[in-house]
């Protein structure tokens, strides 16, 4: 176990072996970091938990270590895990992720940078949440949620581009308009998804945002919401 400089650890926090906590983290009372996975296939293998710098972990949060499938669970830097949220084995969280109270990740979930999960959000194992995505409180993700969007309702569906979040993070008006046009083609054009994706690839000008969206959709294993 390694805890770097300037970390604050509250009362009754359990930090298990093979856990690395980077500098300037704050872990509040009664949290459990690096405990063995809740996975019946786990056989006691030596795996890790990694917490990035300046991450804040509130009361009663649980972060389980990895299994031999990946070898580690990783939480990025500058994240906020609010009270009673849960990060299961082999999850990977990017930087600046926010998990609101009672939000829960199944095993092997990937959450991109700057994504926000509302209170009580449930994410099925092996699901991917794209960078800058926002999932409204109380909803459930069983398929992949692409970058830059807001998602809500049962079953979870596209509810628009996360324009406020993107503006706060310095995305230009041109970028935001391009992202909105891409998702209108994909979700709202009436084309089937394969044809919509081909139209996006041929008609939308090149950009980093376009590349992120197209790559995310092409590499989705569980399908897009």
18, two tokens: 């093979």
C-alpha 44, offset from chain centre? 26
Can 107 be counted among the known catalytic residues?
yes
86 is known as an active-site residue: no
- Is 160 an active-site residue? no
CA distance 1 to 99: 24
State the catalytic residue, choosing from 76, 94, 106, 107: 107
Helix and strand numbers, DSSP H then E, in the chain: 4, 23
Check 52, 66, 90, 144 and give the catalytic one. Answer: 90
Place of tokens 């995305």: 171
**Active-site residue among 89, 108, 118, 132?**
89
The answer for residues whose C-beta is within 8 angstroms of residue 66's C-beta and 6 or more apart is: 37, 47, 48, 49, 72, 73, 89, 90
β-partners of residue 135 are 117, 151
Residue 62's DSSP bridge partners are 32, 86
**Catalytic residue annotation:** 89-90, 107
């Amino acid at each position: 176990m390694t805890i770097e400089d300037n970390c604050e650890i509250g009362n009754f926090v359990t930090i298990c072996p093979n856990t690395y906590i980077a500098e300037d983290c704050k872990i509040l009372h009664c949290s459990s970091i690096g405990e063995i996975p809740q996975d019946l296939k786990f056989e006691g293998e030596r795996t890790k938990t990694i917490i990035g710098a300046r991450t804040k972990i509130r009361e009663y949060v649980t972060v389980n270590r990895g299994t031999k499938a990946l070898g580690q669970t990783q939480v990025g830097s500058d994240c906020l895990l609010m009270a009673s949220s849960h990060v299961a084995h082999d999850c990977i969280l990017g930087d600046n992720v926010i998990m609101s109270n009672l939000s829960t990740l199944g095993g092997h979930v990937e959450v991109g940078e700057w994504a926000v999960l509302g209170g009580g959000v449930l994410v099925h194992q092996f699901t991917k949440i794209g960078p800058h995505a926002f999932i409204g409180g109380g909803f459930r993700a069983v398929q992949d949620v692409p970058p830059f969007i807001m998602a809500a309702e049962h079953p979870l569906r596209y509810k628009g581009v996360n324009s406020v979040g993107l503006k706060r993070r310095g995305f230009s008006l041109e970028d935001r308009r391009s992202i909105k046009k891409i998702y209108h083609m994909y979700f709202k054009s009436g084309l089937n998804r394969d044809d919509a994706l081909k139209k996006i690839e041929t008609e939308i000008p090149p950009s980093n945002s376009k590349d992120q969206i197209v790559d995310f959709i092409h590499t989705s294993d569980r399908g897009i919401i």
